[in-house]
Amino acid sequence: SQKIEQNSEALNIQEGKTATLTCNYTNYSPAYLQWYRQDPGRGPVFLLLIRENEKEKRKERLKVTFDTTLKQSLFHITASQPADSATYLCALDIAGGGNKLTFGTGTQLKVEL
């Protein structure tokens, strides 16, 4: 069955380091992949979208890569700060209909001083 996998274990890193989160998916290759941030008690907030013909996308300290051969996206936060601590979710149109986003379970990131 089609699914999206994110590392369910929390990622703890030191302030200033680069955090790398992984999103893997099976079967259908989506045209777009999105990353969201979710803080406790809040809804997810959109961060970045990357298209299948884009290898890499950057926004300030964030970088996303998209490897359609490996069926994997990597999400990087450089010079991480405690304020970056949150759960990060990847989302894609795994059903192929072009209008419904399926989310991964998310990876919790904790940036320590």
| 2 secondary structure, DSSP code | -
Residue 8 or 18: the one with the smaller Cβ distance to another protein is 8
Min dist. Cβ of residue 111 to another protein (A): 20
Instruction: Please state the length of the chain.
Output: 113
In angstroms, the CA 23 to CA 4 distance is 7
User: Of the two residues 31 and 79, which places its CB atom closer to another protein in the complex?
Assistant: 31
32/72 with CB nearer another protein:
32
CB of 113 to another protein, least distance (A): 26
Question: Least distance in Å: CB of 93 to another protein?
Answer: 4
- Distance between CA atoms of residues 20 and 9, nearest Å: 13
* Residue corresponding to tokens 């300290």: 61
CA distances to 10, 12, 43 from 54, in Å: 28, 29, 27
Helix (H/G/I), strand (E/B), else coil: 18: coil
- Contact residues toward another protein (CB under 8 A) are 30-32, 34, 36, 41-46, 49, 51, 89, 91-93, 98-106
For another protein, the closer CB: 43 or 83: 43
Report, in Å, the least distance between residue 59 CB and another protein: 13
